[in-house]
Amino acid sequence: MTAENHIVVMGYGNQARAWCANLVDSGWTVHVLLRHDSSSRDKIKAPLKLVDWQAPMQGHPIAMLVPDHEIAGALASMSAFIPVGTVIYYAHGFAMTESSLNKAFPQFHHVLLAPKAIGTEVRATYVDRRALGGVYSVEAVDLSERARIEALTLKTARALGITWGPYAVGVKQEMEADLFSEQAVLCSVIPEACRLSFNMLIEKGIPPELAYFELWHEVGLIVRTMVDKGPEAFFHLISPNALIGAEKGRQLLCDEHFTRNMKSLLTDIESGAFAKEAAGVDVEKLRAETVARWQQDAFGRTIDRMQKDRP
């Protein structure tokens, strides 16, 4: 095993656990760096190796897989223990961009390595040998070291399970695309449109089990078909009524007002307004409020019940 087959993963959340498991299965030695008071310390079992907080590092690449708003502070408290020239990986471009990490810590090589999936899917695609897409950027690395570190990054990506790409992008580009996709479609419109539609059907006497299948279970099946087959095949596969209804829904729902609000989301991301807004949000309070809202909603309760009934 060479030194390049070692990596330090900071954090042990959803994304970090997937990285650790995939890299271990690829034959890498994975060191997990956690704070002294971390509740995850007891979860680190062999072959993972627990690294003491603020202990001298050995120069292995470090994957910063803690929440974006914690990264700059963590680097500041650790920087004296990290050798000059260490490669620091980031799974998103947000912290790199908003905290100007390459300027704040010029002694390190800052690299974007972003699998395009949540942690559970990063792991599942590896186990199931499905395609996992990803992007990377070494634009913040000095030209004299760029080729070497790009080769190391691509090697790490392959060990992580990225088989689709990874494609070279700009760090700011990744940040903007990632935030916009979450705000405009993935984490807003999809779940909320499903919830509103479910409740409308329930009010009309539709059994909740039927509404669940139509507005939650089938979402995954439809999206998987869209992704696997592409739009041309997808619109040939759906029924005539689905095709006619899709066009009616597009015209009624995706109007100028919808488009204007989407553009507003993107403008706030590009201008930095969203980053300033996010800095003032109590994330754990918001998460708890969001979960509580879904738990109190008929749709959320039905989802929970149907998942328990699932064979």
Condensed to tens digits (0 to 9), the pLDDT of residues 216-259 reads: 999 999 999 999 999 999 999 999 999 999 999 999 999 999 99
Give 236-279 as a DSSP string.
HHS-HHHHHHHHHHHHHHSSHHHHHHHHHHHHHHHHTHHHHHHH
- pLDDT of 2 > 50? The answer is no
Architecture per CATH, 3-169:
3-Layer(aba) Sandwich (3.40)
Burial of 297 (0-12, 13-18, 19+ CB in 10 A): middle
Condensed to tens digits (0 to 9), the pLDDT of residues 59-86 reads: 999 999 999 999 999 999 999 999 999 9
Domain ranges of the chain: 3-169, 188-309
Confidence of residue 4 (pLDDT cuts 50, 70, 90): low
Condensed to tens digits (0 to 9), the pLDDT of residues 106-132 reads: 999 999 999 999 999 999 999 999 999
Q: What is the pTM of this model?
A: 0.91
Does the annotation count 236 as an active-site position?
Answer: no
Produce one character per residue of 244-272: b if its CB has 16 or more CB atoms within 10 Å, e if not.
Answer: eeeeeeeeeeeeeeeeeebeebbebbeee
Contact predicate 61/156, CB 8 Å: yes
Residues 6+ apart with CB under 8 A from 119: 13, 14, 15, 16, 17, 18, 19
Closest CA to 91 of 70, 111, 121: 111
Residue type, 128: D
- pLDDT of 1 > 50? The answer is no
Mean pLDDT of 206-217: 97
**Catalytic residue from among 31, 60, 69, 92:** 92
Element (H, E) at 226: helix 218-229
